[in-house]
Amino acid sequence: MKMTYLRGLLVVSAAASTVFGQSSNYETCLRDALAEGGSVAFPDALLYQAVDVNRYNLNIPVTPAAVTFPTSSKQVASIVKCASDNGYRVQARSGGHSYGNYGLGGTDGAIVVDMKNFQQFSMNYTTWHATIGAGTLLKDITTRLYNAGKRAMAHGTSPQIGAGGHFTIGGLGPLSRQYGMALDHTLEVEVVLANGTIVRTSEDENPDVFWAIRGAGSGFGIVTEFIVRTEPAPGSAVQYEFTFSIGDAQSQAALYKQWQAYVSNPDLTWKLASTLWVLQDVMIISGTYFGTKAEYDALDIGGQFPGATNSSAIVFEDFLGLVAEWGEEVLLKLTGGIPSNFYAKSAAWTPQDLMSDESIDQFFEYVETANKGTLVWLLVFDFEGGFTNQVDVDATAYPHRNVLIWLQTYAINLLGRITPTTIKFLEELNQLANTDSPYEAYPGYVDPLLQNGPQAYWGSNLPRLERIKAEIDPNNVFRNPQSPQPAT
C-alpha cells in the first residue's frame, strides 16, 4: 500500500510537470512510448532518487535523465528510439545490483530501462529449454526452474541479482564447475538494438550479436528474453564450512598456500565448489559438494586444512533449501540487497600464474599491516575451473576461460563515502596479487576506478567487440563509463 501511494504521488508529479511546465522532446517521446502500460519517472518527480533511481552503490551518485518501466519488447524498442533520436545514452537495469551503478548509466544523464516487468517463464518439457524474462531475479529463476520439472542452471548465489545483467556478463556460481556460467546456458535471446529493432539471436541467427551479448551485453543492446538449457537439479549435496580464528599474516599465508595447492589439483572433482574468505582475524573455507555424504567424507576436506576452530557439514536433499543456504554466505550477510557505500575490485589467477609462496607472504603481510580506512572489509577467493576452462577463449565475448581463482576485494563504509585510504588499500592489494600477469577483471564485479577497464574485462576479445559495436551501435547509444567503444 505504501509503495502504491508513493507511485501515485510520482504519477501526479509527472502529470503536474506536463501541465505547468514545458516538456522536452525526449520526455514527450517517452510518455508516448509508454502510453499503453508501463511508466516513466523524471528527475523532478517526488522521491525520484529514493524510489525510481534506488542506487545500490551509494558511493556513486547518479541522476539518470529518466527511469522507464516498460511492459513489452515493443515499448523497450520505442524507448531506445526516443533516446537515440534525442542524443541520450541508454542502459538497462534488471536487478539494480551493479557495483558501479552501470544499470543507471554510471554517470548522470542516461535513460534507464528497468526490466522488472519482464517476468515471463515457460519450460519446454521435450528439450528442457526454459524461456526466462530479463527482469527475473535469481531467487525466482531457481524456484521456477525447480517447480518446472526439478530443473536448474548455473548462476550466482545473490538472490537479488537480475537475469538481464547476470546472464550477459558471466554468471559464476557453485554449479559453474559442472555446467559453466549462466551465459554458457544461453541458447537464444531476444534483444533490442540501438536502432530500435527487435531481433532474435543465436549461434545461427545474428551470430555476431549473440557472441557479443554473452559477456558484454550492456554495451550492445537490451535483452528482453532468454532461452536457456537446463540440467536436472542436484539431488544430495553437502554444504561445508571450516572456520579458522587466525589473524596474523604468517598463519593466514600458510592456510592460503594449503588451499591454493588443494584447488590447483587438476584431478579434483568438478562436483566440488570452494571459496576462501578472509575477514579481520578470521578465515573461512566453505563450499558445496554435489553428491552424497559418503562421497564428501571420502574427500576428507577437513583433513586438508587442520586447525579449524569450528566446522560443519550439512546434508541437503532439497535443492531449494541448499540455494537458501547459499544466500546466507558471509558477503551476502554483509551486503545483500541493502544499498551501501562500498568499493570492490577483482583479480584472477590461471593455473600457470598462481601466486608464489613469497608473493603470498607479501600479500598477507600487507593485509595485516595496511591502514584499511574502514572496519568492514572482506577478501573472497573463488575456485573456478572445471567446465568453464573447457570453453574456448573466443567462443563468447567473455574471455577469462583459463581462470582458476577469482579474487574479490570488498570494503564498506557504514559512516559515509569510501575514503581514499580504503581505495588505496584495495588497489595496492590487487597490485600485489597481479605482479606476474596481465591484469584481468571480472565484468560482474564492476570497478568504476579501473584504468583501461575494457581491456581488463574483455582482453583478447575486445577488438572483435569494438568491430561489432561499430556495426550495430556506431553512435554508442548503449554505453557506460567502461563499455566497449565502436571501432574507428
pLDDT of residue 335 exceeding 80: no
pLDDT of residue 426: 96
408, containing H or E segment: strand 405-413
Cell of 403: 581462470
- How would residue 121 be classed by pLDDT, with cut points 50, 70 and 90? very high
- Segment 368-378, tens digit of pLDDT: 999 999 999 99
Contacts for 119-123: CB closer than 8 Å, 24+ residues apart: 120/225, 121/148, 123/148, 123/149, 123/151, 123/230
- The radius of gyration computed from the CA coordinates of the chain, to the nearest angstrom, equals 23
pLDDT of residue 337 exceeding 90: no
Task: Please state, in angstroms and rounded to a whole number, the distance separating the CA atoms of residues 230 and 144.
Answer: 12
Sheet holding 186-192, edge to edge: 121-124, 129-133, 222-229, 186-192, 198-202
pLDDT of residue 247: 82
pLDDT of residue 209: 98
pLDDT of residue 333: 60
DSSP-based three-state secondary structure for 235: coil
pLDDT of residue 215 exceeding 60: yes
DSSP-based three-state secondary structure for 95: coil
pLDDT of residue 15: 34
Query: What average pLDDT is seen over the chain?
Result: 92
pLDDT of residue 17: 36
This prediction's pTM: 0.92
Task: Please state, in angstroms and rounded to a whole number, the distance separating the CA atoms of residues 406 and 168.
Answer: 18
Beta-sheet strands, E only, within 203-270: 222-229, 231-232, 237-244
Cell of 367: 593485509
Task: Please state, in angstroms and rounded to a whole number, the distance separating the CA atoms of residues 275 and 157.
Answer: 12
pLDDT of residue 437 exceeding 80: no
- Segment 127-174, tens digit of pLDDT: 999 999 999 999 999 999 999 999 999 999 999 999 999 999 999 999
pLDDT of residue 484 exceeding 70: yes
Q: What is the mean pLDDT of residues 72-95?
A: 97
- Segment 272-314, tens digit of pLDDT: 999 999 999 999 999 999 999 999 999 999 999 999 999 999 9
pLDDT of residue 13: 36
Which residue's entry shows cell 532518487? Answer: 49
Domains in the chain, CATH or no CATH each: 2-114 (3.30.43.10), 121-233+460-472 (3.30.465.10), 237-449 (3.40.462.20)
pLDDT of residue 7: 39
Q: Report helix angle 138-147 to 319-326, nearest 10.
A: 170
- Segment 445-458, tens digit of pLDDT: 999 999 899 999 99
Give the percent of the chain with pLDDT over 70. Answer: 93
Task: Please state, in angstroms and rounded to a whole number, the distance separating the CA atoms of residues 256 and 428.
Answer: 19
Alpha helices in 148-238 (DSSP H): 163-169, 176-179, 182-185, 207-216
Which residue's entry shows cell 570488498? Answer: 410
Q: What is the mean pLDDT of residues 413-427?
A: 95
- How would residue 24 be classed by pLDDT, with cut points 50, 70 and 90? confident
- Segment 361-405, tens digit of pLDDT: 999 999 999 999 999 999 999 999 999 999 999 999 999 999 999
b/e map 174-213, b = 16+ CB within 10 Å? bbbbbbbbbbbbbebbbbbbbebebeebeeeebeebbbbb
Cell of 29: 517521446
Cβ atoms of 168 and 225 within 8 Å: the answer is no
Cα–Cα distances in Å, from 415 out to 59, 226, 374? 11, 40, 9
Q: What is the DSSP string of 422-456?
A: HHHHHHHHHHHHTSSS-----TTS--TT-TTHHHH
Q: What is the mean pLDDT of residues 69-98?
A: 96
Ramachandran bin of 393, using left for φ above 0, alpha for ψ from -120 to 50, beta for the remaining angles:
alpha
Task: Report the candidate in 401, 357, 393, 385 with the shortest Cα–Cα distance to residue 267.
Answer: 385
pLDDT of residue 8 exceeding 90: no
pLDDT of residue 328: 74
Which are the contacts of 300, defined by CB distance < 8 A and separation ≥ 6? none
pLDDT of residue 334: 59
pLDDT of residue 326 exceeding 60: yes
